[in-house]
Amino acid sequence: ETGVTQTPRHLVMGMTNKKSLKCEQHLGHNAMYWYKQSAKKPLELMFVYNFKEQTENNSVPSRFSPECPNSSHLFLHLHTLQPEDSALYLCASSPGTGGTGELFFGEGSRLTVL
Protein backbone atom coordinates (compact mmCIF):
# COMPACT_ATOMS: atom_id res chain seq x y z
CA GLU A 1 0.00 0.00 0.00
CA THR A 2 1.71 3.16 -1.20
CA GLY A 3 -0.92 5.78 -0.30
CA VAL A 4 -1.20 6.54 -4.01
CA THR A 5 -3.52 4.24 -5.95
CA GLN A 6 -3.58 3.96 -9.72
CA THR A 7 -6.11 2.23 -11.92
CA PRO A 8 -6.06 0.37 -14.16
CA ARG A 9 -2.73 -1.33 -13.57
CA HIS A 10 -2.64 -2.57 -17.17
CA LEU A 11 -4.32 -1.17 -20.25
CA VAL A 12 -4.22 -2.19 -23.89
CA MET A 13 -5.80 0.16 -26.39
CA GLY A 14 -5.99 0.77 -30.08
CA MET A 15 -4.93 4.03 -31.64
CA THR A 16 -8.52 5.19 -32.10
CA ASN A 17 -9.67 4.40 -28.56
CA LYS A 18 -10.37 6.82 -25.74
CA LYS A 19 -9.42 5.71 -22.26
CA SER A 20 -8.56 7.27 -18.93
CA LEU A 21 -6.04 6.58 -16.21
CA LYS A 22 -7.04 7.34 -12.64
CA CYS A 23 -4.95 8.25 -9.63
CA GLU A 24 -6.05 8.79 -6.06
CA GLN A 25 -3.86 9.79 -3.13
CA HIS A 26 -4.76 9.25 0.52
CA LEU A 27 -1.88 11.25 1.99
CA GLY A 28 -3.44 14.69 2.27
CA HIS A 29 -0.94 16.08 -0.23
CA ASN A 30 -1.49 19.20 -2.30
CA ALA A 31 0.56 18.44 -5.40
CA MET A 32 0.02 15.63 -7.90
CA TYR A 33 2.05 14.60 -10.92
CA TRP A 34 2.00 12.43 -14.02
CA TYR A 35 5.31 10.87 -15.11
CA LYS A 36 6.04 8.71 -18.13
CA GLN A 37 8.59 5.90 -17.83
CA SER A 38 9.84 4.35 -21.06
CA ALA A 39 12.58 1.79 -21.48
CA LYS A 40 16.08 3.28 -21.48
CA LYS A 41 14.82 6.82 -20.84
CA PRO A 42 14.75 8.90 -17.70
CA LEU A 43 11.47 9.43 -15.93
CA GLU A 44 9.74 12.20 -17.88
CA LEU A 45 7.59 14.74 -16.06
CA MET A 46 4.33 15.32 -17.95
CA PHE A 47 2.04 17.41 -15.75
CA VAL A 48 2.01 18.97 -12.31
CA TYR A 49 -1.02 20.11 -10.36
CA ASN A 50 -0.73 22.11 -7.16
CA PHE A 51 -3.93 22.77 -5.23
CA LYS A 52 -5.88 21.58 -8.30
CA GLU A 53 -4.21 24.15 -10.56
CA GLN A 54 -1.97 23.00 -13.38
CA THR A 55 1.49 24.45 -12.79
CA GLU A 56 3.45 22.46 -15.33
CA ASN A 57 2.81 21.06 -18.78
CA ASN A 58 6.06 19.68 -20.04
CA SER A 59 5.32 20.07 -23.78
CA VAL A 60 3.07 17.05 -23.73
CA PRO A 61 1.08 16.28 -26.93
CA SER A 62 -2.59 17.19 -26.76
CA ARG A 63 -3.60 13.53 -27.12
CA PHE A 64 -2.83 13.41 -23.38
CA SER A 65 -5.32 15.47 -21.39
CA PRO A 66 -5.02 15.75 -17.60
CA GLU A 67 -7.82 16.52 -15.20
CA CYS A 68 -7.58 17.30 -11.50
CA PRO A 69 -11.03 17.73 -9.93
CA ASN A 70 -9.62 17.99 -6.39
CA SER A 71 -6.35 17.60 -4.54
CA SER A 72 -6.88 13.86 -4.06
CA HIS A 73 -7.72 12.80 -7.60
CA LEU A 74 -5.90 13.05 -10.89
CA PHE A 75 -6.88 11.67 -14.26
CA LEU A 76 -5.05 11.29 -17.55
CA HIS A 77 -7.40 11.11 -20.51
CA LEU A 78 -5.96 9.33 -23.54
CA HIS A 79 -7.14 9.84 -27.12
CA THR A 80 -5.75 8.70 -30.48
CA LEU A 81 -2.48 7.55 -29.00
CA GLN A 82 0.51 6.27 -30.96
CA PRO A 83 2.42 3.01 -30.40
CA GLU A 84 5.38 5.05 -29.10
CA ASP A 85 3.14 6.19 -26.25
CA SER A 86 3.33 2.68 -24.81
CA ALA A 87 4.99 3.06 -21.42
CA LEU A 88 4.50 2.92 -17.68
CA TYR A 89 2.56 5.97 -16.51
CA LEU A 90 3.30 6.86 -12.93
CA CYS A 91 1.25 9.12 -10.74
CA ALA A 92 2.91 10.77 -7.77
CA SER A 93 2.01 13.18 -5.02
CA SER A 94 3.94 15.45 -2.68
CA PRO A 95 3.03 17.71 0.21
CA GLY A 96 3.39 20.79 -1.96
CA THR A 97 4.89 23.99 -0.63
CA GLY A 98 7.42 23.40 2.09
CA GLY A 99 8.69 19.96 2.93
CA THR A 100 11.39 18.09 1.07
CA GLY A 101 9.53 17.76 -2.20
CA GLU A 102 9.75 13.98 -1.80
CA LEU A 103 7.53 12.22 -4.30
CA PHE A 104 5.26 9.36 -3.36
CA PHE A 105 4.63 7.24 -6.45
CA GLY A 106 1.75 4.95 -7.26
CA GLU A 107 2.39 1.51 -8.70
CA GLY A 108 1.83 2.75 -12.23
CA SER A 109 -0.44 1.98 -15.16
CA ARG A 110 1.24 -0.09 -17.86
CA LEU A 111 -0.12 1.14 -21.19
CA THR A 112 0.23 -0.71 -24.49
CA VAL A 113 -0.95 1.01 -27.66
CA LEU A 114 -1.53 -1.30 -30.61
Partner 1 sequence: GQQVMQIPQYQHVQEGEDFTTYCNSSTTLSNIQWYKQRPGGHPVFLIQLVKSGEVKKQKRLTFQFGEAKKNSSLHITATQTTDVGTYFCADSGGSNYKLTFGKGTLLTVNP
Nearer to partner 1, 13 or 103 (CB): 103
- Report DSSP letters for 38-104, one per residue: -TTS--EEEEEEETTEEEEE-S--TTEEEEEEETTEEEEEEES--GGG-EEEEEEEE--SSS----E
Residue closer to partner 1, measured from CB, 19 or 110: 110
Residue 16 C-beta: closest distance to partner 1, Å: 30
CB atoms within 10 A of CB 3: 14
Shortest CB 73 distance to partner 1, Å? 18
Give whichever of 70 and 97 is closer to partner 1, judged by the CB atom: 97
The minimum distance between CB 19 and partner 1, in angstroms, equals 20
